[in-house]
Amino acid sequence: MSASATGIGLRLADKRRRERRWLLGGAGILACIVALAGFGIGALAIPPATVLHILAAQLGLADAAGIDPLHRQVFLAIRAPRVLLGFGVGASLALAGAAMQGVFRNPLADPGLIGVSAGAALAAACIIVIGPPAIIGASSVLRPWMLPLSAFGGGLLATAAVYLLARHEGRVVTSVMLLAGVALNALVGAAIGWLTFVATDEQLRSLTFWTLGSVGGANWASVLPTLILALLAAIGLLRLAPALNLLALGEAEARSLGSDPARTARLVACFAAVAVAAAVASAGMVGFVGLVAPHLVRLLVGPDHRVVLPGAALAGGTLLVLADIVARTVVVPAELPLGVVTALVGVPFFFWLLLRSKRTGQSE
């Protein structure tokens, strides 16, 4: 073989690998720093050193003596679940976005834009106002899972509907995909409008929460189902990264390389619906994270899904924790809805992407 005489192939492959390791490492460190900030910032400031001290004490690595009990109480009951929930929600949405973009072969397939979050939210809102089906309502085991389960059903239906509508001769038509999202979002807007009309005052408060999103209500009971579902989705989606890379070549090409694109699409739809359900059921509709996070990763290290998926999860979690810090500090003592903050960042970003895809004509 005359091939490896210069070794440029190996050099290029290794360079890419190094870039990926740096990105994932850097994103991990950044996530930890932002989490520390999230734990510390608020009406009662907790210094990072104290946060680390409390964490060490909780893990049995340090003596709990010398920790202000108020700090400890606020950290354990409010900050920790809130930051963890925020991270889980952001990571789920970003991961779902990155994987769906892979299946749709389109960088604009965000769970919020194409109506998957809306489908999940509608199903959950129906359960809140109309009430759960008798089997779930009666069982105390299923109760904490009631909203995630119905959100999963709604999200899955929405994903399937958009995918089937927008796919034409083996490729996804961007305009149909986005219009299907517009239609689904409009349907959900109308339905939620109607639900607010028939809802009681208490139901109404939790309904407004669905439309703009918040992780303010976080407590351990709501955090755990979310994180479990998010982890489940992450495991499922990360395994599909090589198949998503092949799908980027085209459906026929993926098939000729021994992959099964239909199976990939089904699995991504299911796991992405789990991820979106985990996010929506606990935090409502938070937009644009699934659009922004995967893009940042692609800009830095290219589109290989083996790094885009984990990278997007880290970036999405970090972004959402940051957005939540902004949401609860800019208008103290009140809080901005989380969706307002993410939209302020996400909408300009979306326009920029649209303009760019118009210029390069990359997506038809």
Partner 1 sequence: MSTAALALHQASLRRGRRLVLQDVTLQARPGRLLAIIGPNGAGKTSALSLLSGAASAEAGEVLLDGDPLARIGAEALARRRAVVSQGARIAFPFRVHEAIALGRAPHRGRTTHHQDAALVEEAMARFELLHLAERSVPTLSGGEQQRVQLARAFVQLDRPVLDGTARWLLLDEPVTGLDPAHQVRALAEARRFADAGGGVIAVLHDLRLAARYADDVALIEGGRCTVLDTPAVVLTPERIRLAFGLDEASVGLFLTA
CA–CA gap between residue 264 and residue 152 (Å, rounded): 18
Q: Tell me how far, at minimum, the Cβ of 106 lies from partner 1, in Å.
A: 7
Question: Given the rule CB under 8 A, which of 39-47, 218-226, 238-246, 343-351 is the region that contacts partner 1?
Answer: 238-246
Q: Tokens representing 185?
A: 């979002």
The contact mask relative to partner 1 for 278-307 (x = CB under 8 A, - = no) is: --------------------x---xxx---
How many positions of this chain bind partner 1 (CB under 8 A)?
A: 37
Q: How large is the C-alpha radius of gyration of the chain?
A: 21
Q: Which of 174, 222, 226, 245 binds partner 1 (CB under 8 A)?
A: 245
Q: Which of 38, 97, 107, 284 binds partner 1 (CB under 8 A)?
A: 107
Strand partners, 172: 167
Triad 297, 304, 300: Cα angle to 5°:
30
Q: Is 221 in the site for partner 1 (CB under 8 A)?
A: no
Q: Is 105 in the site for partner 1 (CB under 8 A)?
A: yes
Asked if 72 contacts 54 with a C-beta cutoff of 8 angstroms, the reply is yes
Q: Which of 80, 85, 178, 247 binds partner 1 (CB under 8 A)?
A: 247
Give whichever of 71 and 298 is closer to partner 1, judged by the CB atom.
298
Question: What's 154's DSSP letter?
Answer: H
The contact mask relative to partner 1 for 11-30 (x = CB under 8 A, - = no) is: -xxx-x--------------
Half-sphere exposure of 1 (CA within 13 A, CB side): 5
Q: Tell me how far, at minimum, the Cβ of 298 lies from partner 1, in Å.
A: 7
Sign of CA dihedral 340, 341, 345, 350: negative
Q: Tell me how far, at minimum, the Cβ of 287 lies from partner 1, in Å.
A: 22
Q: Is 10 in the site for partner 1 (CB under 8 A)?
A: yes
Which of 185-222 are b and which e, b meaning 16 or more Cβ less than 10 Å from the residue's Cβ?
Answer: beebeebbeebeeebeeeeeeebebbbbbbbbebeeeb
* Phi and psi torsions of 333, nearest 5°: -90, 0
Q: Which of 45, 52, 142, 257 binds partner 1 (CB under 8 A)?
A: 257
Q: Is 174 in the site for partner 1 (CB under 8 A)?
A: no
* Phi and psi torsions of 168, nearest 5°: -145, 120
Give whichever of 25 and 302 is closer to partner 1, judged by the CB atom.
302
Question: Given the rule CB under 8 A, which of 1-9, 78-86, 275-283, 341-349 is the region that contacts partner 1?
Answer: 1-9
Instruction: Looking at 261-337, list the stretches that DSSP marks H as alpha helix, in order from N- to C-terminal side.
Output: 261-283, 289-301, 305-329
Q: Which of 157, 248, 300, 353 binds partner 1 (CB under 8 A)?
A: 248
Count helices and strands (H / E) in the chain: 16, 2
Q: Which of 153, 216, 217, 250 binds partner 1 (CB under 8 A)?
A: 250
Asked if 263 contacts 290 with a C-beta cutoff of 8 angstroms, the reply is no
Q: Which of 140, 169, 197, 360 binds partner 1 (CB under 8 A)?
A: 360
Q: Is 170 in the site for partner 1 (CB under 8 A)?
A: no
Contact set with partner 1 (CB under 8 A): 1-4, 6-10, 12-14, 16, 105-107, 242, 245-250, 252-253, 255-260, 298, 302-304, 360, 362
